[in-house]
Structure 1
C-alpha cells in the first residue's frame, strides 16, 4: 500500500425527510445569502424546492435561484452563475439535484473567487479556494456529494473535462433515499453503472498489498449488483435505494481508493462520447468499461480481472487458465449491464463507428499516454472504441 493523506470533512445528513433541515445546515456552515442551484422542473413539481426554500426562510437565510442545469453540465450556465453570485454577493451555494447540478455548483463556487476564467481549473490549474457548497441529493450516481471533483462541458468545441481540489468537497450533503424513488428505471441504472465505474477506476491498480481496499471496492460492487435490480423492479424499495445512495457516496469520496494507484482511462474515454452525443454518462460507461476491460486483459496481467470475476460475480477460478476466468467475469458484467437496461455497444448507445477518429482526437493526448493501470496511447484507445463499436 502506498503512502496517502485522506480527509473527508463533509457532514452527511442521511434519511427520510432530512431535506426539511437544509436551512439549519446552511446556517451551521455560515451561509447567509445562498445561490439555490438546480436542474429541471422536477425539483419544483415534486415540491422539493419549496421544502428547501421553507427551511431556508425558517433560518432567515436569503437566496437567489438559478435553475436549468442539464445533464453533462455546460459552461454557459456556470458563467451565468458566477455573474449572479457576484452581483448578489452570495456567500454559499446550495445544489439541489444530482451530480450535474452539484458539478455545476462546484464550478461556480471556484469561479466566483477567481479573477480569471473558471475554465483554467479544467485545463490543469488547481483551485485554492471556493465558496462553500451544500447539497440536497436527488440521484445516486456521481458521488459528487462527497468528492472534491467536478466535470463540466465547454460548449465551444464541446470539450468535457474534469477539475478537482479539496476546497470543492461539500460542507454538508443531505441524502434522503426517498428523493430517488421517482427516477425512471433508465436513470437508476445509469447511476448504478457510474457508481460501479468509480470503483473500477480504483480497483484495477498495480499497487500491491491493498487487500483491505480491494474488499471495500468489492463490497460496493456487490451492493450494486444485488440492490440495483430491486430498485428497478420496485422503485419505492427504500432499503435498496438507501444502500445504493450510500454506496454511491463511498464509491467516489476516495475511501476505497486511498493508498493505491488509480487508472481513470474509462472515464476519460467515455467523456468524449457524452460530449459528442450528449448521452447519459452512465450509459456511455456501460459501453466503454467492458470494452476497456476486454482490451486491457489482453495486454496486462489478468489476475485482477479474475479476482473480480470470482469475488463479485461468483465465477470459479481456473488456476490453469486464469485469463478464462477473467473473460468470464467481463462477460458477466456485460450481462448485468444489459439486464438493467443499459446499452453495451455503440449501436445501442446511438454512437457511430465512423466518429472514432474524432473521438480519439478530441482526447487531446497527442503522442503521449494516459492512465495508471495500463497507460494507453491513441492506437490503444482507438482499439477500445472499436471493441465498443462491435455488436
Structure 2
C-alpha cells in the first residue's frame, strides 16, 4: 500500500428540502456576496431558483448570476463568469447543477486570481495558487464534482477537453436533496449512473494488493449504484434508490476509493477525446462505449481483477477466471443496454473515418500515453481500442 495524505473538507448537507438552508449556511461561514452559476431554465421551471433566491435574500446575501451553462462546457462560459466577478467582486461561488455547472464554477474560482488563459490549468501548464471558495447545490447524481478536486473544461474551437486536479477546487459545501433528482430527464440520469460507476471502476482497476480496503469500498459502491439503477428501471421515483445515487455520486469521486493506490484514469481520457471532438456527445454515454472497448483490449492482463469484479458486481458463478472476466464485460454491456445507453461509436454518430482524429486528440498526436495499469496506452493501442468500440 502506498503512503498517502488524505483530507476531504467537503461538508455534505443531505436531505429533503436542505436547499432552503443555503442562505443561512453561507451566512454562517461569513459570506456576503455570491456568484450563482447554473444551466438552462430547469431550475426556474422546477421552482428551485425561487427557493434559493428567497433563502439568500432572507440571509441578506447579495448575488450575481452566470446562467446558460451547457454540457461539456466551453471555456467561453468561464470567461463570461470572470468578466462578471472582476467587475463586481464576490466572496463565494454557488454552483447549482451537476458536473458541467460545477466545473465552470471551479474554473472561474481559480482563474479569478490568474491573468492568463483559464485553459492553462487544464493543459497542465501551471497549477492554481488561489481560488474563490465554492459551494454546491447538487441537482444531478453523476460527475461527483461536488466533492472532488477535479475540473474539466472544453474549447470548442480547438476540439479540446481536459481536466486538472487541485485541492483548491474542492467545494467546501455540498447541499444534496435527492428529491431534486426526480426532475432529471431519464437519459441524463442513466448517463450519470454510468459516469459515477466509472469513477470507482477506474480506481478499482488500478494496481493494488490483495488487502486493499479501497478495492472493497469500490466494489461495494459500484454494486450499490447498479442495484439502485435497476430499482429505478421499475420505479423511477423510488426515494431510497435516488438517495443512494446522490450519495454514491459524491463518494465515488472524493478520493476515498483510491486510498493507498495510484489510480491512472484511462477510460475518462479516452472519452474526453469523443466529447471534445463532438460536444453534443453526453459524457456518460461516451464512457460506456470506451469502457467496453478498453476492457476487451486489456482484460487478459489482469484476469484476477476482472474476474473478481464480475463475480462481486454481477454475481457471476464461474470458476475459470478468463471466462468470468468475459462474462463480466458482457454483463456490463447488458446493463448499459438496460439503461438504454449507447454501446458503440456508431450509436454516438462516430465512424471509422473519425478514429484517426479521436486517436490524435486522446494522445496529443502521439506525444503522450494514457493510463498506467494494466498497461500504458500509446497511439497504436488507442487506435485499436477505438476500433473495438465501433
Q: TM-score per shorter chain, which class?
A: over 0.9
SS where residue 208 of structure 1 aligns?
coil
| Contact 2:75–2:118 under 8 Å retained in 1 | no
SS where residue 235 of structure 1 aligns?
coil
TM-score of the two chains, using structure 1 as the length reference: 0.96
Aligned to 1:57: 57
1:233 and 1:83 mapped to 2: Cα distance?
46
SS where residue 302 of structure 1 aligns?
helix
1:21 and 1:273 mapped to 2: Cα distance?
39
Aligned to 2:142: 141
1:17 paired with 2:22, answer no
Give structure 2 stretches of 5+ with no counterpart: none
Aligned to 1:156: 157
Q: CA deviation at 1:367?
A: 4.3
Moved more, 366-375 or 144-153: 366-375
Q: CA deviation at 1:291?
A: 1.1
Q: CA deviation at 1:221?
A: 0.9
Q: CA deviation at 1:365?
A: 5.6
Aligned to 1:327: 326
- The structure 1 segments of at least 4 consecutive aligned residues displaced by more than 6 Å after TM superposition are none
Aligned to 1:349: 348
RMSD between aligned residues: 1.2
| Contact 1:292–1:384 under 8 Å retained in 2 | yes
1:248 paired with 2:231, answer no
Q: CA deviation at 1:351?
A: 1.7
| Contact 1:147–1:253 under 8 Å retained in 2 | yes
1:183 paired with 2:184, answer yes
TM-score of the two chains, using structure 2 as the length reference: 0.97
Aligned to 1:279: 281
Q: 1:166 to 1:210 in 2, by over 3 A?
A: farther
SS where residue 157 of structure 2 aligns?
coil
Aligned to 2:42: 42
| Contact 2:269–2:370 under 8 Å retained in 1 | no
| Contact 1:265–1:371 under 8 Å retained in 2 | yes
2:230 and 2:316 mapped to 1: Cα distance?
20
1:309 paired with 2:327, answer no
1:232 and 1:100 mapped to 2: Cα distance?
25
Give structure 1 stretches of 5+ with no counterpart: none
Q: CA deviation at 1:285?
A: 0.6
| Contact 2:156–2:276 under 8 Å retained in 1 | no
Aligned to 1:130: 131
Task: Count residues in correspondence.
Answer: 386
Aligned to 2:93: 93
SS where residue 68 of structure 1 aligns?
coil
SS where residue 375 of structure 1 aligns?
coil
| Contact 1:92–1:131 under 8 Å retained in 2 | yes
2:107 and 2:63 mapped to 1: Cα distance?
19
Aligned to 1:295: 297
| Contact 1:18–1:175 under 8 Å retained in 2 | yes
| Contact 1:99–1:144 under 8 Å retained in 2 | yes
| Contact 2:35–2:94 under 8 Å retained in 1 | yes
Q: CA deviation at 1:230?
A: 2.0
1:273 and 1:44 mapped to 2: Cα distance?
31
1:181 and 1:81 mapped to 2: Cα distance?
29
